[in-house]
Amino acid sequence: MAKLWGGRFQKETDTLVEDFHSSISFDQRLYKYDIKGSIAHARMLGRVGIIQPAEADAIACGLEEVLADIEAGRVKFSVEAEDIHMNVEQLLTAKIGEMGKKLHTARSRNDQVALDIRMYLKDEIDSIIALLRGLQLSLLDLAEKHIDTVMPGYTHLQRAQPVTFGHHLMAYCEMFRRDVERLDDCRRRTDVMPLGAGALAGTTFPLDRVYVAKQLGFTAITENSLDAVSDRDFAVEFAAAASLAMVHMSRFCEEIILWSSAEFSFIELDDAYSTGSSMMPQKKNPDVAELIRGKAGRVFGDLQALLTMLKGLPLAYNKDMQEDKEALFDAVDTVKKCLVIFKPMLETMQVKKNVMAEAARGGFTNATDLADYLVRRGVPFREAHEAAGKAVLYCLEKGLTLDRMSMDDYKKFHSLVEEDVYKAVDINNCVDSRKVPGGPSSEKVSEAIARARQRLE
């Protein structure tokens, strides 16, 4: 097959190079964006008089037919044509003849691929944001159900202070909100149209770049032709934002895995989102959560691949940049797959409220509240902290909890303790008295849920 760039070459490309060089095996997913961009480019060429308006119309109609053929499965892409851009151009030329060769006027594959990737990524960011918002809504529904479900809060994976499951879920809602904000910010910088930059130095033809940008839904055009074709910052930004979203899902999955173990038994995952063992009949494994946790590493690797690919490149375009697509596509696909399955896994899990509450009561998570009780009676905090710590040690030795200790025992640790201490160390009261903004009281969690719903709307 004759190369579209073959004029100065006297030898055929080696077959090994054909396969090594070709990107059609993965960049074919950009076909819709390549064709849409080409239609806008052709119409602009006709509009400014670089080609005849009738030629522009014929090219646009031919491209629409190529699109229909691809979507109907009637096209077999060619490795010899290297990439999606040259495949589309050859399919167009086969359909409308020599006129198809005018399409590439005032354009390079360098600005063309930059355009395609930006268009693709804008759509994918919108899809991922929609999935994240759907997940947030599920979290809000679940948090609303569990505003009063007391559980231990942890530091160092040791029981620390009582919170509610609703409050715990809202922490992840905040993380996913930041993920949306980061993606939205990344989209803003992706939404810049590079077509017209040519190979690196623009073109001598009088292009109307603003017209093309409007036709393709871009809000701005690139300001520097060298940067336009060599910039992949937006892809790196996306991979970084995607990596953080995966970190948040992975952290959540780690907790789900712990909570579903017999040692915690806070939740039970639905059978539909668990698997068994081929050898041990009693097993119910949290494989979906484990896979999401594992797939986070893939996305981190995609980010690292993009950064490493770019770090030593001189301006402007270099063939190394062909490596951007597989990493970007994998990051997109992995995040979407994980979000799609994470939501129903979460919605169908059974929450064991009694086990959570008992864990909060049994772990001395109310010890800080005992210290605070003494502080409110005028005891310096360090003294109160020591008294509460000694009370905990006593309970451990006697097999007691702070809410079951007698008043005589309390008096051993501080003379200012009175009967109202039992209200102070009551687990439910410990949670509900934390009414500081951002705290776990039912009042503050309800307010947080309402604000989150308002933002999502």
Number of domains into which the chain is organized: 3
CATH classification at residue 309: 1.20.200.10
Let me know: does 326 contact 122? Beta carbons within 8 Å: no
pLDDT (tens digit per residue) in 218-263: 999 999 999 999 999 999 999 999 999 999 999 999 999 999 999 9
Q: How does residue 12 score in pLDDT terms, banded at 50, 70 and 90? A: confident
Let me know: does 121 contact 84? Beta carbons within 8 Å: no
**Are 247 and 377 in the same domain?**
no
Let me know: does 193 contact 213? Beta carbons within 8 Å: yes
Mean pLDDT over 396-417 rounds to: 93
**Are 229 and 336 in the same domain?**
yes
**Closest CA relative to residue 104, chosen from 120, 94, 117, 92:** 92
**Are 435 and 321 in the same domain?**
no
Within-domain flag for 79:
yes
pLDDT at 5 over 60: no
Q: Give the separation between CA 62 and CA 67, rounded to whole angstroms.
A: 9
Q: Give the separation between CA 411 and CA 151, rounded to whole angstroms.
A: 29
- Structural domain ending residue among the three candidates 351, 376, 410: 351
CA 226 from centroid of its chain's CA atoms? 30
Mean pLDDT over 25-40 rounds to: 97
**Closest CA relative to residue 163, chosen from 136, 139, 143:** 143
Q: Give the separation between CA 268 and CA 19, rounded to whole angstroms.
A: 49
**Are 54 and 122 in the same domain?**
no
Average pLDDT, the chain: 95
pLDDT (tens digit per residue) in 358-399: 999 888 999 999 999 999 999 999 999 999 999 999 999 999
The angle at the Cα of 201, spanning 200 to 204, to the nearest 5 degrees, equals 135
CA 6 from centroid of its chain's CA atoms? 42
For residue 246, the model assigns a pLDDT of: 98
Within-domain flag for 5:
no
Handedness of CA 121, 126, 128, 129 (dihedral sign): positive
Amino acid at 233: D
- Structural domain ending residue among the three candidates 58, 75, 105: 105
**Closest CA relative to residue 347, chosen from 172, 142, 146, 75:** 142
Q: Give the separation between CA 331 and CA 318, rounded to whole angstroms.
A: 22
DSSP 8-state code for residue 6: G
Within-domain flag for 6:
no
CATH classification at residue 398: 1.10.40.30
Least confident of 10-19, 48-57, 58-67, 95-104: 10-19
- Structural domain ending residue among the three candidates 320, 351, 382: 351
**Are 327 and 436 in the same domain?**
no
CATH classification at residue 74: 1.10.275.10
**Are 98 and 129 in the same domain?**
no
Within-domain flag for 184:
yes
**Are 124 and 215 in the same domain?**
yes
**Are 315 and 427 in the same domain?**
no
User: Which sequence positions are flagged as catalytic?
Assistant: 156, 277
pLDDT at 193 over 90: yes
- 43, 112, 201, 219, 229 from 108: Cα distances, Å: 17, 6, 10, 22, 10
pLDDT at 73 over 60: yes
Within-domain flag for 92:
yes
Least confident of 20-34, 55-69, 162-176: 20-34
**Are 218 and 278 in the same domain?**
yes
Reading the block at residue 272, the tokens are: 């539909």
DSSP string, 352-418: -HHHHHHHHHHTTTTHHHHHHHHHHTT--HHHHHHHHHHHHHHHHHHT--GGGS-HHHHHHH-TT--
Reading the block at residue 156, the tokens are: 């160092």
**Are 166 and 92 in the same domain?**
no
Within-domain flag for 1:
no
Mean pLDDT over 122-150 rounds to: 98
Residue 202's domain comprises: 110-351
| The total number of residues written for the chain in this structure | 457
**Are 303 and 385 in the same domain?**
no
CA 390 from centroid of its chain's CA atoms? 46
Within-domain flag for 333:
yes
Contacts of residue 293, defined as CB under 8 A and 6 or more positions apart, other chains included, come to 249, 250, 253, 254, 257
Reading the block at residue 127, the tokens are: 């899809």
Within-domain flag for 436:
yes
Q: Give the separation between CA 216 and CA 210, rounded to whole angstroms.
A: 10
Let me know: does 321 contact 229? Beta carbons within 8 Å: no
Q: How does residue 2 score in pLDDT terms, banded at 50, 70 and 90? A: low
Reading the block at residue 146, the tokens are: 């569990």
Buried b (16+ CB within 10 A) or exposed e, 41-69: bbbbbbeeebbeeebbebbbebbeebbee
Q: How does residue 9 score in pLDDT terms, banded at 50, 70 and 90? A: low
Q: Give the separation between CA 53 and CA 51, rounded to whole angstroms.
A: 6
**Are 91 and 117 in the same domain?**
no
